[in-house]
Amino acid sequence: MKIDRRAFLSLGLGAAAGTAITPLPWKLIDDSSIWTQTWPWTPVPPVGKVSHVNSVCTLCPGGCGITVRKSGDRAIKIEGRGDHPVNNGGICMLGLSGLQLLYGPTRIQTPLKRIGKRGENIFKPISWAQAQTFLKETLSNLRNEKKSHELACILGNNDDSCTNLFGRFCQAFGTSNVFQMPSAQDISSEGLKRMQGDTGPIAYDLENADYILSFGAGLIDGWGAPVNMFYAHGKRKSALKQSNVRFVQIDSRLSNTAAKADTWFAVTPGTEAILALAMAQFILHEHRYNHDFTRRYTQGLDAFKAMVDKQYTPRKASTITGLDEEIIRFLAKDFSQAKRPVAVFGRGSLENAGSVQEFMAVHALNALMGNIYEKGGSWAKPNMPVRDWKPAELDDIAIEGLNQKSIDPDAKDISNRPHRLIEQICKAKQSPVSCLMVYGANPVYQLSNHKSVQEALNKIPSIVSFSSFMDETAIQADLILPDHLYLEKYGETMTPPGMQKPIVSLCKPVVDPIFETRNTGDVIIDLAKKMGGAVANAFPWPDYLTCLKQRLGQHWKELENKGFVENSSYKPVKRFSTSSRKFEFTSTQKQSFEFNPITIDGELKKYPLIMVPCDSIRLVADGAPTPPFMIKSLDDTVLKGNDILVEINSKTAKSLGLRHNDIASLSTPHGNGRVRVNVSDGIMPDVVAIPRGLGHTAYDDYLSGKGVNYMSLIGPVEDSMTGQDVAWGIRARLSKA
């Protein structure tokens, strides 16, 4: 079957919304048309000249090409760009709803200064000149008092030029306390560095694999570049008719991805990597691995084999994972029979990371099959080369500040352990941070252990937010310098997560700024200039656009003309950069392969269930707002009124005396919340799944006060290799309210 653009769009949206064969779309259209008529701000497109502007969607790291239809000056529709290599004309519900964010009433319209108590949400509008003078004075005081290291930043997990400008500003200013929100990409980067010597997160060639074995990755639940994943799934489905392409999902619940897979096997949450090790044991034992590849390109196989032989035979793994040992053997046989099998590790969408060791356990299967740097296999995600900025020259204050002990002692450059910042501030009598700048992140919503986050923020004298929306963190700020929305500004997206070929896309203004907002890149450059001296010298550009042009260098012309540059002929080179110049099952220093599963917090007696998050393509989970259209599209197995629904198996429900739709109390060692019960046999017994992306306390009436934030129920659990917070499942109790 050939998939044309229209068919693909339907497929993408069908997969996204899961609505293809349900009456939901019709109910939704009907409800929405009645409902939206009551909005005072319902847009009525003006009559005007129709035009189209190409740009890129930055609402998630997916980086889809978009075409925005305009009538006069007003944007009236966002569509997927048919010629863009990431999304091939597809678009997800969030991308489609971008205009609700652009024109909606929840945006911050002008710089704001807090006048009420912190967190009271009482601000007064001020001018940009006043806001920048205020910030400049706060920061100048720190430098004058030789306390530059008391400036800290929490940034989103992006590699765009604006995020990099913050890093440069902090360096020139004299602080090493720069934190980025953690992501699953950091974990796979670390795993690849150890096994292959590669830099960069992993990319899987799913379009060309003939057997995809996903260990928990929500491949069509928002993983990677979401629309690209729908596309790959659609292509795979069409290929299925001609060949023996298979897709197997390992998951503790019947996620959307599991439902679309050919086969779904349920395992106890958190034991997916143990299943991978048991499969490896069987494959090695039965000599079903790629002998040529392992002999020529790997080292440490004997130590790896000794470890799995001792600890992870299918029999032993069966008792841990809950999967029958015969099924484990069958899976290992099935996987190793394929020509181009690929094993993918993940936990739902990319918001959640497993540990580095879990990633390595799953990736070892790819090495056993020799499917690394090969068609249908995996390699490190390549980036389009960009020009490095000239290193900033540092003055004495900056050097002294950078020599101070960092709040995260393990940080070499930017730390992806913001939970440590929170812990250190809570521990200290007086906050080691005097000023915190937050850009591209909503840590109050996104970080676990909410009580500590709140306690830490209360101690920081000055908080500056660059958010476009009044989110949970902006409410805590003393000063808000609102950023333009992506449809109003220049920016870039580098190769999206999971993509195999280098690509850079240009985000450019589709409409003039609607409110008194500014591109944060310009704000940082202006701020540096106002600081003067070496800080100003580190920012030689007159404005952000000049800085962006310089960074994108030789690509700029093509980006301006076409909107993206892709190296479509890119082919990975089989070259390992480890010290042994081979794929390392175990490092050359160590003779044994270590594997320690992540601990699941909580006492079994007190908390008999395991709570796991579940992702939906209809909910934004990274702390940014979910537009009203998407909230309205949630079905009543996710949200009913203001109650979030948690999924449990009918056996669990029976043993707890709970019935479908009952109101219950969900408790964990870190918090509790009111929930409704969704009884489903698509989840393992003794597991409770809670949707992520609800439980906001900020934004608007459509989003605030609906359900429970999963992050408020968990606390940080550090990865043993990186210290990154990899908390995922936690012990929980569910009882009738």
What is the binding site for ligand SF4 (CB under 6 A)?
57, 59-60, 62-64, 87, 91-92, 94-95, 226-227
Structure tokens at 201: 């997160």
Minimum CB separation of residue 622 from ligand SF4 in Å reads 11
Integer Cα distance of 357 and 399 in angstroms: 36
- Nearer to ligand SF4 by Cβ, of 63 and 216: the residue is 63
The residue whose Cβ lies closest to ligand SF4 is 95
10 Å Cβ neighbour count for 173?
A: 27
Is 210:339 a contact under the CB 8 Å cutoff?
yes
Minimum CB separation of residue 58 from ligand SF4 in Å reads 7
DSSP 485: P
Minimum CB separation of residue 152 from ligand SF4 in Å reads 29
Question: Sign of torsion, CA 453 454 455 457?
Answer: positive
- Alpha carbons within 13 A on the beta-carbon side of 63: 27
- Nearer to ligand SF4 by Cβ, of 218 and 226: the residue is 226
- Nearer to ligand SF4 by Cβ, of 87 and 249: the residue is 87
Q: Which residues are within 8 A (CB) of 396 and not within 5 positions of it... i.e. 6 or more apart?
A: none
| Secondary structure class of 165 (helix, strand, coil) | helix
- Nearer to ligand SF4 by Cβ, of 223 and 445: the residue is 223
Minimum CB separation of residue 54 from ligand SF4 in Å reads 14
Phi, psi of 120 (to 5 degrees): -80, -15
Minimum CB separation of residue 97 from ligand SF4 in Å reads 9
Minimum CB separation of residue 37 from ligand SF4 in Å reads 27
Please report, as a single letter, which amino acid is at residue 526: D
- Nearer to ligand SF4 by Cβ, of 16 and 721: the residue is 16
Structure tokens at 509: 């203004």
- Nearer to ligand SF4 by Cβ, of 59 and 437: the residue is 59
Which is it for strands 435-439 and 65-71: parallel, antiparallel or unpaired? Answer: unpaired
Minimum CB separation of residue 100 from ligand SF4 in Å reads 13
Minimum CB separation of residue 96 from ligand SF4 in Å reads 7
- Nearer to ligand SF4 by Cβ, of 88 and 520: the residue is 88
Please name the residue that has the structure tokens 């519900």.
Answer: 93
Element (H, E) at 10: helix 5-17
- Nearer to ligand SF4 by Cβ, of 95 and 693: the residue is 95
Is 94:230 a contact under the CB 8 Å cutoff?
no
Minimum CB separation of residue 702 from ligand SF4 in Å reads 18
- Nearer to ligand SF4 by Cβ, of 277 and 617: the residue is 617
Is 667:732 a contact under the CB 8 Å cutoff?
yes
Integer Cα distance of 652 and 485 in angstroms: 45
In terms of Cβ atoms closer than 10 Å to its own Cβ (0-12, 13-18, 19+), residue 643 is buried
Minimum CB separation of residue 357 from ligand SF4 in Å reads 30
DSSP 114: E
End-to-end CA distance of the chain: 52
Minimum CB separation of residue 533 from ligand SF4 in Å reads 40
| Secondary structure class of 489 (helix, strand, coil) | coil
- Nearer to ligand SF4 by Cβ, of 91 and 614: the residue is 91
Structure tokens at 372: 């690394």
Residue 641 Cα distances to 184, 633, 637, angstroms = 32, 13, 11
Minimum CB separation of residue 505 from ligand SF4 in Å reads 10
- Nearer to ligand SF4 by Cβ, of 66 and 639: the residue is 66
Nearest to 187 by CA among 731, 689, 598, 615: 598
Where does residue 222 fall: left (phi above 0), alpha (psi -120 to 50 degrees), or beta otherwise? left
- Nearer to ligand SF4 by Cβ, of 100 and 415: the residue is 100
- Nearer to ligand SF4 by Cβ, of 173 and 445: the residue is 445
Integer Cα distance of 361 and 263 in angstroms: 21
Q: Which residues are within 8 A (CB) of 223 and not within 5 positions of it... i.e. 6 or more apart?
A: 217, 229, 257, 346, 348, 349, 350, 498
- Nearer to ligand SF4 by Cβ, of 57 and 261: the residue is 57
- Nearer to ligand SF4 by Cβ, of 9 and 535: the residue is 9
Distance of CA 391 to the CA centre of its chain: 29
Integer Cα distance of 7 and 11 in angstroms: 6
Integer Cα distance of 277 and 312 in angstroms: 6
Where does residue 256 fall: left (phi above 0), alpha (psi -120 to 50 degrees), or beta otherwise? alpha
Minimum CB separation of residue 90 from ligand SF4 in Å reads 8
10 Å Cβ neighbour count for 389?
A: 17
Interhelix angle 161-173/520-531, nearest 10 degrees:
20
Minimum CB separation of residue 234 from ligand SF4 in Å reads 15
Q: Which residues are within 8 A (CB) of 687 and not within 5 positions of it... i.e. 6 or more apart?
A: 252, 253, 268, 269, 609, 610, 611, 612, 648, 649, 652
Minimum CB separation of residue 324 from ligand SF4 in Å reads 37
- Nearer to ligand SF4 by Cβ, of 478 and 492: the residue is 492
Please name the residue that has the structure tokens 């080691």.
Answer: 432
- Nearer to ligand SF4 by Cβ, of 90 and 314: the residue is 90
Minimum CB separation of residue 83 from ligand SF4 in Å reads 15
Which is it for strands 123-125 and 112-114: parallel, antiparallel or unpaired? Answer: antiparallel
